[in-house]
Chain A
């Protein structure tokens, strides 16, 4: 088989990070090609280049034997490559048929004016049947669940009859049954000659559906394997380069002093009757799928979202938290999953970013003090920068994240709430961040961390609260649980590794 897409010496750097470095490999016509890698390995950058979203990169992409440089998403689409993005690109107010055929509506007799809704509905139904989905064709798409919307997004790309379909984490919010049906559909269109590029961090799925799999690590291309000759272990080794976050779990620790307790916390339509206790030095994980209310819960604890009923205790005293300011005054810190919007001050330098919380109550700036504090934490957390007066924008994601950790340390926050603290961070820095968290916990800091990465939850935390559809599905000690157990609690269906 001929190479349909050939990447040749692709490099792309951002200030402070090398997102891709000299990546070369081929995707053959008619195959299902997996691309795997840790967060920050460069998968999404590579997809953005193919998708025409990133245009200034080094190297060349050959498509069908010719060098192509896609300058915008439209050019990619016209070349016959359909990219299914991880985030949904649907119009929430339009219905399923309108969404699927948006921008390429079928016309009666190829007329200019009249849309052929009968034909479009017929084709939509055909795909819904293959996926055994029973969805209304007339309801606005916003009434569907996230999983259903994700499938509609996929149908939209498949129905465009392209030569290549590129899928970025297409199964992230699907349960195993839905994944199985999606795979049936993919095999069908693959048999009809469509090449599929499948990007996922769920290795078992990659092993199941792909013919070959390419591994990226830290922006570099590592190898391409025949899926038949690969197994999870070999791929994990290639992906991580043998950096294991922590080889051992923390082991069972005994915590005595209660610092934070939540009783019957409820917010209408979001989360219900949440109870847990956090001890001094404890690292508490919160797990759950999309829509489980896990982010809303921690946001309520920090005063960003109000809660309707329930009680929160700090050192045994009942407290009320209704603004972030109040939470901060009580020694709680918060690190958002959206670092760009709710984390960094992109226009400001490292000093201002680190000291913005500790200086809240100052009137006059104490420049020298702020500088000293910043330097202290830059050294302590090994933040890589030229100087503390550098704009935070020019640091890599991992170093930005460390700066935000420093921000709360500078305020000496005792309880830290974090959402996905390692999202978009390279493997090495990820390990470093967990080392920092562990070191701080040994000094008596406590953590509440929402994470979507099961291995992270199990290896790095002490106990995990699992949420499903707003309710607590359980609380487990990490010393005696498995990924499967957590997964089945989070999804509500028994989950076995294939």
Chain B
């Protein structure tokens, strides 16, 4: 075994800071809380963060491309609500799934249209859509939660639908964790192996150079909005399936958690840099901290403040280290 080679590779590994942070957290919690490092708890962390991870990977995609999408939480909520209502009215699982996913496609396409055709700043366009989608969810439910179980839609009548949110692989691995792995693998391949992925970096890093080089800047960004929409929809439907009911306000604030995870994962807010692995590590750093707080018995109010503190810490570390070597002041 050539150890020096392995060490060298690790030192060139871009996400090593995040990886070490995660490792440190795990070791610290292992020592501090015996119940932390159990298969049950670790799988639990995976399940709790699987859906957030799917959406964060999408958010990472969009931030790397130089935009932002803060309507993801509303897409999550509206998709869940629409899928629930369709299932309630028709009883068809496939129809419910497709109608839920179409919400993500439609809102993603509207976001893309507003940003790339009307040339609105992405923050403002998706800010508007965040309210529109949430409003629609409240209107079609009249503000009441949709409870599938009350209408007799349960895991006996609709086993496939409930498997989507409550299933386990090999009776052990929660399906949310599987979704996360699949989304991670697909997006990683797109980013690192396809020209489309390379163009997302190019557009996020140097928009004008990309345009002059013949890259279809608008189409690429349009597609990223649709991808994020679909991922958020899927997360919303899975959440519905997991709980058997959904509130019209479901997913409120989840967009900010996604942004936090993406920033902690080392994606530059101005676009052009970052990786899917980084985002995934960011999600788990956040998830493990939250889990640790619960195990310590600290109230959930701390959680909110701590997300902020970790984000600020992570980004200031990034900002400081990226200034190294170019200390010119303009």
**Is there an interface contact between B211 and A324, defined as CB atoms closer than 8 Å?**
yes
Q: Which residues of A contact B201 (CB under 8 A)?
A: 347-348
**Is there an interface contact between B205 and A346, defined as CB atoms closer than 8 Å?**
yes
Chain A 424-463 interface mask (CB, 8 Å, partner B; 1/0): 0000000000000000000000000000000000000000
- Most chain A Cβ neighbours within 10 Å, of B195, B212, B273: B212
**Residue A357 is within 8 A (CB to CB) of chain B in the complex:** yes
User: Which of B108-116, B151-159, B301-309, B322-330 forms part of the interface with chain A?
Assistant: B322-330
Q: How far apart are the CA atoms of A302 and B212 in the complex, in Å? A: 9
Q: Which listed residue (A72, A328, A345) contacts B202, Cβ 8 A?
A: A345
Q: How far apart are the CA atoms of A281 and B201 in the complex, in Å? A: 36
**Residue B210 is within 8 A (CB to CB) of chain A in the complex:** yes
**Is there an interface contact between B208 and A342, defined as CB atoms closer than 8 Å?**
yes
Given the known A-B contacts A55-B327, A324-B214, are A360 and B195 also in contact in the complex, defined by CB atoms under 8 Å? yes
**Residue A194 is within 8 A (CB to CB) of chain B in the complex:** no
Given the known A-B contacts A347-B272, A365-B195, are A407 and B213 also in contact in the complex, defined by CB atoms under 8 Å? yes
**Is there an interface contact between A324 and B213, defined as CB atoms closer than 8 Å?**
yes
Measured between C-beta atoms, what is the minimum distance from A465 to chain B in Å?
22
Chain A 339-357 interface mask (CB, 8 Å, partner B; 1/0): 0011111111000100011
**Is there an interface contact between B328 and A344, defined as CB atoms closer than 8 Å?**
no
Q: Which residues of A contact B192 (CB under 8 A)?
A: 365
**Is there an interface contact between B195 and A364, defined as CB atoms closer than 8 Å?**
yes
Q: How far apart are the CA atoms of A360 and B205 in the complex, in Å? A: 17
Given the known A-B contacts A53-B330, A56-B327, A360-B195, are A345 and B215 also in contact in the complex, defined by CB atoms under 8 Å? no
**Is there an interface contact between B329 and A345, defined as CB atoms closer than 8 Å?**
no
- Most chain A Cβ neighbours within 10 Å, of B194, B213, B216, B328: B213
**Is there an interface contact between B195 and A346, defined as CB atoms closer than 8 Å?**
no
Q: How far apart are the CA atoms of A344 and B212 in the complex, in Å? A: 10
Q: Which listed residue (B196, B205, B325) contacts A345, Cβ 8 A?
A: B205
**Is there an interface contact between A347 and B205, defined as CB atoms closer than 8 Å?**
yes
**Residue B120 is within 8 A (CB to CB) of chain A in the complex:** no
**Residue B193 is within 8 A (CB to CB) of chain A in the complex:** yes
Residue of A nearest to B328 (CB): A54
Q: Which residues of A contact B210 (CB under 8 A)?
A: 345
**Is there an interface contact between B193 and A364, defined as CB atoms closer than 8 Å?**
yes
Chain A 65-108 interface mask (CB, 8 Å, partner B; 1/0): 00000011000000000000000000000000000000000000
Q: How far apart are the CA atoms of A148 and B80 in the complex, in Å? A: 62
**Residue A336 is within 8 A (CB to CB) of chain B in the complex:** yes
**Is there an interface contact between A347 and B213, defined as CB atoms closer than 8 Å?**
no
**Residue A359 is within 8 A (CB to CB) of chain B in the complex:** yes
Q: How far apart are the CA atoms of A72 and B195 in the complex, in Å? A: 43
Measured between C-beta atoms, what is the minimum distance from B316 to chain A in Å?
21
**Is there an interface contact between A55 and B328, defined as CB atoms closer than 8 Å?**
yes
**Residue A362 is within 8 A (CB to CB) of chain B in the complex:** yes
Interface size on B, residues (CB 8 A): 26
Query: Which residues from 188 to 220 on chain B have a C-beta closer than 8 Å to any C-beta of chain A?
Result: 192-196, 198, 201-202, 205-206, 208-216
Main secondary structure of the interface of A (DSSP, over half): loop
Chain A 38-81 interface mask (CB, 8 Å, partner B; 1/0): 00000000000000011110000000000000011000000000
Q: How far apart are the CA atoms of A291 and B273 in the complex, in Å? A: 37
**Is there an interface contact between B208 and A348, defined as CB atoms closer than 8 Å?**
no
**Is there an interface contact between A352 and B195, defined as CB atoms closer than 8 Å?**
no
Q: Which residues of B contact A364 (CB under 8 A)?
A: 193-195
Q: Which residues of A contact B198 (CB under 8 A)?
A: 352, 356, 359, 365
**Residue A334 is within 8 A (CB to CB) of chain B in the complex:** yes
**Residue A112 is within 8 A (CB to CB) of chain B in the complex:** no
Query: Which residues from 313 to 350 on chain A have a C-beta closer than 8 Å to any C-beta of chain B?
Result: 324-325, 327-329, 334, 336, 338, 341-348
Chain B 212-244 interface mask (CB, 8 Å, partner A; 1/0): 111110000000000000000000000000000
Q: Which residues of A contact B330 (CB under 8 A)?
A: 53
**Is there an interface contact between B209 and A342, defined as CB atoms closer than 8 Å?**
yes
Measured between C-beta atoms, what is the minimum distance from B92 to chain A in Å?
35
**Is there an interface contact between A325 and B212, defined as CB atoms closer than 8 Å?**
no
Residue of B nearest to A71 (CB): B329
Q: Which listed residue (A72, A336, A344, A362) contacts B329, Cβ 8 A?
A: A72
**Residue A1 is within 8 A (CB to CB) of chain B in the complex:** no
**Is there an interface contact between A363 and B196, defined as CB atoms closer than 8 Å?**
yes
Measured between C-beta atoms, what is the minimum distance from A321 to chain B in Å?
12
**Residue A304 is within 8 A (CB to CB) of chain B in the complex:** yes
Measured between C-beta atoms, what is the minimum distance from A148 to chain B in Å?
26
**Is there an interface contact between B209 and A341, defined as CB atoms closer than 8 Å?**
yes
Measured between C-beta atoms, what is the minimum distance from B10 to chain A in Å?
18
Q: How far apart are the CA atoms of A325 and B211 in the complex, in Å? A: 8
**Is there an interface contact between B212 and A360, defined as CB atoms closer than 8 Å?**
no
Q: Which listed residue (B193, B206, B213) contacts A357, Cβ 8 A?
A: B213
Q: How far apart are the CA atoms of A325 and B199 in the complex, in Å? A: 14
**Is there an interface contact between B209 and A343, defined as CB atoms closer than 8 Å?**
yes
Residue of A nearest to B205 (CB): A347
Given the known A-B contacts A56-B327, A363-B195, are A348 and B205 also in contact in the complex, defined by CB atoms under 8 Å? yes
Q: Which listed residue (B211, B214, B272) contacts A360, Cβ 8 A?
A: B214
**Is there an interface contact between B205 and A304, defined as CB atoms closer than 8 Å?**
no
**Is there an interface contact between B212 and A324, defined as CB atoms closer than 8 Å?**
yes
Can you name 11 A-B residue pairings with CB atoms under 8 Å?
A: A53-B329, A53-B330, A56-B327, A56-B328, A325-B214, A336-B212, A345-B209, A348-B201, A357-B213, A357-B214, A363-B194
Residues of B in contact with A (beta carbons under 8 Å apart)? 192-196, 198, 201-202, 205-206, 208-216, 272-273, 325, 327-330
> Known contacts A304-B211, A343-B212; can you find 20 more A-B pairs with CB under 8 A?
A53-B328, A53-B330, A55-B327, A56-B328, A71-B329, A324-B211, A324-B213, A329-B214, A344-B206, A345-B202, A345-B205, A347-B201, A347-B205, A348-B205, A352-B198, A356-B198, A359-B195, A360-B195, A363-B195, A364-B193
Residues of A in contact with B (beta carbons under 8 Å apart)? 15, 53-56, 71-72, 302, 304, 324-325, 327-329, 334, 336, 338, 341-348, 352, 356-357, 359-360, 362-365, 407
